[in-house]
Structure 1
Amino acid sequence: MKNYIKADEWNIIEDGFDPHLNKISESLFSIGNGRMGQRANFEEAYSGETLQGNYVAGVYYPDKTRVGWWKNGYPEYFAKVLNAANWIGLDIKVDDEVLDLNVCRVSAFKRVLNMKEGTLSRSFTAELKNGKVVRVEAMRFCSIADDELAALHYCISPVNFEGIITITSFIDGDVKNQDANYDEKFWNEVKQQQDSNADYLVLRTKKTEFDVCTAGKSIVLYNGKELSLDVVTKDKYVGRTVNVQIKKGDSVNIYKIVTTLSSQNYEKGQLLAVAELKLGKAVNKGFYKLLKEQVLAWTVKWEESDIIINGDVAAQQAIRFNIFQLNQTYTGKDARLNIGPKGFTGEKYGGSTYWDTEAYCIPFYLSTAPEEVAKNLLVYRYKQLDKAIENGAKLGFIDGAALYPMVTMNGEECHNEWEITFEEIHRNGAIAFAIFNYIRYTGDESYLAQYGLEVLIGVARFWKQRVNWSADKNKFVMLGVTGPNEYENNINNNWYTNKLAAWCLRYTIEASSVVKQIAPKEYKKIVAKTRLEEEKEFSDWTAVADQMYYPYDAKADVFLQQDGFMDKEQILVKDLPAEDRPLNQKWSWDRILRSCYIKQADVLQGMYFFEDDYDLETLRKNFNFYESRTVHESSLSPCVHSILAAKLNDEEKAYEFYLRTARLDLDDYNNDTEDGLHITSMAGTWMSIVEGFAGMRVRNGQLVFNPFVPKAWNYFSFSIGFRGVQLKVKITADQVRIINGSNQILEITIFNQSYTFPSGEKAITYNEQLV
């Protein structure tokens, strides 16, 4: 665990430069705006360990899978969001010596991510080998006010000399992904253009043929005067350079305003013209007006999504960091985009879409953003339904059965591990549950008629065909699966998967009835389009759901994660030698698969989704049983345990698991932050507070709260949107205070008692008897 980030409520602060921590900091200080983003690479040259990364959402390459064999249905490629043109680049030379912090003596180094305003700043003093000392102050941002713009300001001052500083500002498209399977570069140059106003570079991806135009205007000021810059060109590279004869105590200011446009949104032949117009308007505004717009836009974001924790600065910093990264990763403006597990902060997992979005991210965006944002995450899957049906057909499923991919960019499966690709089919259920969750929260049943029911029918058909009848058990069973616990592969009757499948089948029938009632014309169209045989298929689905087999151990009185789970040697996590952890780095995969150890919530994931189906005693028995066997070697694990522990009134465990997830990246708990941040699990951190400590649920169309305040905090508060109403909720040890920002009267349940909340502020005081 690292502990070098300074505690601060609104800022992520690194004080002092340690090259060994640089890749971790590049992840932590990443910035983005939903359309593009970048790791916190230095503007100037750096020869030390670094992972350079600039990423454009939705632009990907189908890198050929690096395995030596194929099976029928196996994906031929692994899609990757590409490292795109580096627009921040500045080569700085001091009397012909390159400014490079890897070889300089660095002092007074400070890096600050201002989460309130969405800016990354850096300052340092560096002594070069020639003995000359410079002072640098830099700031940059990716605008969320206009997600096709970014800007930087870089100021360099000589401390102990007079001489020549050579500045070259460039856009470099000669880049590659660190995770390229065959060390291939994925971009070809289409065109470069330089005029008196700006530099333009158009690149095209191999195979997928996305065009991306990066255009930038560089302005260099010395003593307030703009300097004339000379053009520099080479393959996949455009830039400007100037030599500045500088005096001690003076400063050179470099401003760079950039637009990045892709052929996803513009015709290829229009990219340059649009970039020229867009950049011209941005340059006319200037750096500081663009910055002002950025600050105002982030003010709105925080008004919608902030969580305040009073009494614990480290916890406050952590939750804001998680919220900040979620907000700059996905804005919901484009239903073609989704959320990669690493967002714009690294290349691991390829930047593709996983089931993390539906299971973990949907609740955050439902509560903290306009309704359209979460809806677009669902529409993303609807638009890929045909591909999901194709994916199913590749594995032998028929008649419109849909199997959504474990990993995807365009709807095709592109995961390169067979036990995941073929077996971790519970992702289908997570997508169906997200539809239910969206409607439960928003009340928007029209979504079913527009999009949702078609998806549910495809998923239900898959489950019907995926089970088989066991004469031995006299039940329907599901063989050869992998549940959320990826430390078990190719097992039979994963309880969570069976539970989710049965629920999906019933919910599809229920959703069909709703659409038939509220939109009969649309229902007829859906029946015709999907060729739904209502009587037969509904009967078959009901039979499977009613006769599904669920593993159970009578002695322990718990649902079994899979058939034969109790055949494993039951050594609890507390009895594991510390030197054996983490298992995925210390044990062979064979040994892990034969153990009872659980990577992340599995049975407990199902009990989290369907908590109303179980009484507290059943939940407690299963929680105690599985928690003691869970090693939490997935970033998605602690939040579910935290929420369930809170429901069980186990404050100590709820808070312990919250801490594990809240500062997972800031403190580099798993020694993997250098690969990028755990964006999707950050949504689980939010859930731990709002669904865990605040106990927020939606039941019968109403909000419900069953809160407590962790002992380390004085109080906590958060903002949520619910069915068109913006609420601010403040929770203390004995009171819930809610500000209703609308004219709509809300009925809200607190500790099983219903209260009316009109417009304005109202407090409900409770005591131990009420709790």
Structure 2
Amino acid sequence: MMNYSTGQAEYKNWCVAEERFDSQFLGKAEAIFSLGNGYMGARSTTEERYVGEVRNTFVAGTFNRFAENEVTELPNVADVIAMEFFFNGTRFDLTLGKIHHYKRQLDLKRAELVREVDWEAPTGERYVLEFRRFVSLADRHLVGQRITITPLQETTLRVISGINGQVTNSGVQHFIEGEKRLYEEVYLQQVQKTTESKIDFVLNTTHRFMKQDTPVQVKGLIQMDRRKIVYDFKQIALQANEPFVIEKLSTIHTSRDNDQRQADYTLESLREESLTELKEAAAAGYEAKFHQHSAEWDQRIWSALDIEIEGDDGFDQLAIRFAQYHMTVMTPAHDHRMNIGAKGLSGEGYKGHTFWDTEIFLLPYFIYTQPKVAKSLLEYRYQTLPGAHRKALENGYEGAMFPWESAWLEDGEVTPVYGAADIVTGTATKIWSGFIEQHITSDVAFATWQYYQITGDETFMEESGYELILDTAKFWSSRLEWNDAAKQYHINQVIGPDEYKEHVNNNAFTNYTAHWNIQKAMEYKTVLEQTKPALYERLDEKMNLAKAFAKWEECLPLLYLPAIREDGVLPQDDTYLSKEIIDLTKYKQQTHVGSLFEDYNLEQVNEIQVSKQADVMILFYLLEDLFDQKTKQANWSYYEPKTLHDSSLSLSTHCVLASDMGETDLAYDLFSRAARIDLGPNMKTSDHGIHAASLGGIWQSVVNGFGGVRMLNGQLRINPRLPKAWDRLAFPIHWQGERLECTVTRDTLDIKQVTGGQPVSFTHDGNLYTIEREIQLTLQPQVSETR
């Protein structure tokens, strides 16, 4: 059904296509074909409607809570995409009649969705239709559609199209209905307001009709219904084989837009401004606005950030472009009050909330390629400090305790309390992550430090970064629990990255990263006191750093760090290694994630040596200099057979580590599996939206894994290891304000410094080198082992 090799010539490895329509599997294409620009995202439902579809349009950062017992979520905005077509009275519906040709294709290069249909109606009449669509990267408020209809016989066409606010979030209506208006007989406008957050939304749409590239007037009847305004264009006479074109341009604006924060904001002014913008777009037309959009994609993304993979399988090249495409359309680069949702803007999954996915899996891509965007995402975390402080206080702690799921800046924790069904008890399973999955706090600190080391952005650190690291360390020192018998500080009752183990004590990832967080805070406290006294005084006034430092000094040497056993295994927590071992073959070979829960409930899984995702292994990735290669190999051998990779975050981490260990065959297999989470043949994996963090992980697999790029304590290291399937890999990275272009072949590593600034030093195979414009190194032959 899906085809990833349809692109030809200059579009080779740029296209993702669906070649057969099946109404049972609508979600796959709706999600992976989703369009967006970071401001808004539109799930790619078809114009005509089908049972089982999920029509979603989201504007980043516009959260609302429906009721007291609900959690904040992104509201599903009124639908501007839907259109109904009737040919001689027969509704256009692909579940009826006969399809002679069907192809829907997302062109990643130009970020345009194109659908081609040759349809025979139940009456025997045939119609050829082409649907084109984009969400503009050049104008963040604009959605464009262009439909070309060619009947093979004389036809009377009826089109119903407009703005439909009857859509919901799985039954939840987040909007109060506002005024609906028709202006100048061609411009439709609908106003909505969120029920709790009181955000105004103004949607506008207009239509233009053409025959033989000449505009024609089509009369219609304006209709208004509850939360809905549409035009009903009746009795459009079409000649046989004569193309008829419908252009529909729509805009979406909100009162939360960062250009609407001025003190004199009024809804009326927003309505006027948005309508004026639509009129200007309509005057230009679809093709002109699309050209601006595709040019923006080329300039901002593909000409600047394209990664080239030459090898046996063009799918690998497509996969990294697919990842970069979606990381662009889902990231609110325009506004530092917003962050990335776990499903981007492509579906209702996880309600648009931000997780550790951003800091650990997505942020590295932006740090190395678009540092300004990375800074904006971290500034979001800084602005959520009030909510993090409130969560800490509510739990009896100090400092900043970041929420596991985050939405509004002020919200604090927004994780739902209950989730999926417990197959044993028949009740809803409690979601403990919002209460006890606390490593998110050190994840934010680590991401802050990583950004600083790679970019050297001292201004950010002075404005936000130092405070984030110090405030999170305050939380950890207050979170530690004294164990009198062991004469140590422990961290009890937590969930680590492996969410199949709840209420554990001394999760290795949590303890080690908390230790790192406190240690880094102590280092920066001393540096600030000595070199930036004014800044130190300001932060000391906020956090009482002298008192905090005394606590850090006292507790850090006594913070328990799980020790490596004689067999080289680092215990994931106090009890993991003593739990029951079962045969996991059935679940390791599963065709869909989560099959374990068809046989066990979460309480039972908690007592088995089975992991959802990388836990100890991701610790080795982030803090790799703390562990030697022998230890990493021993833990891989122990934990990977027990890891089901039921989280989309897991495969890419294991890919990078396998590459580090020189096992490139295994690494490539893991990369291929990660790349197929959304792009693979399974037609149900993406129903709730794309897997945002996994896409960041695909980039890490390519650049940090096979490209060998790593930051270790402020030093750039590049140790590439190409898989056998690849002959050449080329990618750009930014380091300390300089742009480097790296090209790896089987024999050479070539690095060009294209910005002409300060020389850049890096290590390769333990040797230190300096780049002055360009350097080329000869690579040692690789030996790859296959497990």
- For the aligned pair, the TM-score class normalised by the smaller chain equals over 0.9
149-158 or 504-513: bigger deviation? 504-513
Match for 1:714 among 712, 727, 734?
727
CA drift of 1:585 comes to: 4.2
2:579/2:609 contact within 8 Å kept: yes
Which residue is 1:291 aligned to? 290
614-623 or 480-489: bigger deviation? 614-623
1:93 has 2:86 as partner? yes
- Aligned partners of 2:674, 2:151: CA distance in 1, in Å? 44
CA drift of 1:305 comes to: 2.3
Which residue is 1:390 aligned to? 390
Counterparts of 1:93-492 in structure 2 under 5 Å? Answer: 93-159=86-152, 161-178=153-170, 183-196=171-184, 197-223=186-212, 224-230=214-220, 231-242=222-233, 243-265=235-257, 266=260, 267-269=265-267, 270-300=269-299, 301-311=301-311, 312-369=313-370, 371-398=371-398, 401-410=399-408, 411-417=411-417, 418-492=431-505
1:752 has 2:758 as partner? no
- Aligned partners of 1:153, 1:576: CA distance in 2, in Å? 46
When residues 198 and 538 of structure 1 are mapped into structure 2, their CA distance, relative to the original with a 3 A threshold, is same
| Cα offsets for 1:640-666 (capped at 9, x unmatched) | 111111111111221121112112111
| Cα offsets for 1:673-701 (capped at 9, x unmatched) | 12211012210110011111111012464
| Cα offsets for 1:516-537 (capped at 9, x unmatched) | 344321221121123x141x32
1:391/1:405 contact within 8 Å kept: yes
CA drift of 1:503 comes to: 0.9
When residues 566 and 323 of structure 1 are mapped into structure 2, their CA distance, relative to the original with a 3 A threshold, is same
300-309 or 225-234: bigger deviation? 225-234
1:218/1:240 contact within 8 Å kept: no
* AA matched with 1:12: V
CA drift of 1:414 comes to: 1.1
User: Percent same amino acid among aligned pairs?
Assistant: 28
| Cα offsets for 1:144-166 (capped at 9, x unmatched) | 1121112111111112x212101
* AA matched with 1:121: V
- Aligned partners of 2:634, 2:588: CA distance in 1, in Å? 25
CA drift of 1:206 comes to: 1.0
Which residue is 1:28 aligned to? 32
Match for 1:541 among 552, 570, 591?
552
When residues 220 and 232 of structure 1 are mapped into structure 2, their CA distance, relative to the original with a 3 A threshold, is farther
Which residue is 1:68 aligned to? none
1:506/1:542 contact within 8 Å kept: no
How many residue pairs align between the two structures? 748
- Aligned partners of 1:342, 1:692: CA distance in 2, in Å? 24
| Cα offsets for 1:298-330 (capped at 9, x unmatched) | 112112322211122111111111111111111
1:572/1:629 contact within 8 Å kept: no
2:587/2:596 contact within 8 Å kept: no
* AA matched with 1:238: I
- Aligned partners of 1:294, 1:148: CA distance in 2, in Å? 12
RMSD: 2.1
Which residue is 1:11 aligned to? 15
Which residue is 1:646 aligned to? 659
* AA matched with 1:188: I
* AA matched with 2:77: A
Which residue is 1:55 aligned to? 58
* AA matched with 1:102: T
46-55 or 585-594: bigger deviation? 585-594
2:706/2:720 contact within 8 Å kept: yes
| Cα offsets for 1:12-65 (capped at 9, x unmatched) | 01122222222211111111100011111111x223321111111111222447
- Aligned partners of 1:586, 1:315: CA distance in 2, in Å? 35
CA drift of 1:77 comes to: 3.4
Which residue is 1:561 aligned to? 572
- Aligned partners of 2:253, 2:160: CA distance in 1, in Å? 23
When residues 579 and 711 of structure 1 are mapped into structure 2, their CA distance, relative to the original with a 3 A threshold, is closer
Look up the SS of the partner of 2:60 in the other structure: strand
418-427 or 297-306: bigger deviation? 297-306
1:16/1:107 contact within 8 Å kept: no
Which residue is 1:70 aligned to? none
- Aligned partners of 2:239, 2:2: CA distance in 1, in Å? 40
- Aligned partners of 1:7, 1:597: CA distance in 2, in Å? 40
1:54/1:86 contact within 8 Å kept: yes
When residues 670 and 360 of structure 1 are mapped into structure 2, their CA distance, relative to the original with a 3 A threshold, is farther
* AA matched with 1:93: F
- Aligned partners of 2:176, 2:730: CA distance in 1, in Å? 50
| Cα offsets for 1:124-146 (capped at 9, x unmatched) | 01122222211110111111112
CA drift of 1:4 comes to: 4.9
CA drift of 1:607 comes to: 1.4
1:731 has 2:724 as partner? no
When residues 606 and 95 of structure 1 are mapped into structure 2, their CA distance, relative to the original with a 3 A threshold, is same
CA drift of 1:574 comes to: 4.5
Unaligned runs of 5+ in 1: 66-75
Look up the SS of the partner of 1:485 in the other structure: coil
Look up the SS of the partner of 1:675 in the other structure: coil
1:572/1:628 contact within 8 Å kept: no
CA drift of 1:625 comes to: 1.5
When residues 538 and 276 of structure 1 are mapped into structure 2, their CA distance, relative to the original with a 3 A threshold, is same
TM-score, normalised by the number of residues in structure 2: 0.91
1:360/1:684 contact within 8 Å kept: yes
1:453/1:511 contact within 8 Å kept: yes
1:691/1:697 contact within 8 Å kept: yes
CA drift of 1:239 comes to: 2.3
Unaligned runs of 5+ in 2: 8-12, 418-430
- Aligned partners of 2:433, 2:708: CA distance in 1, in Å? 33
CA drift of 1:119 comes to: 0.6
CA drift of 1:390 comes to: 0.8
1:605 has 2:594 as partner? no
* AA matched with 2:346: T
* AA matched with 2:35: I
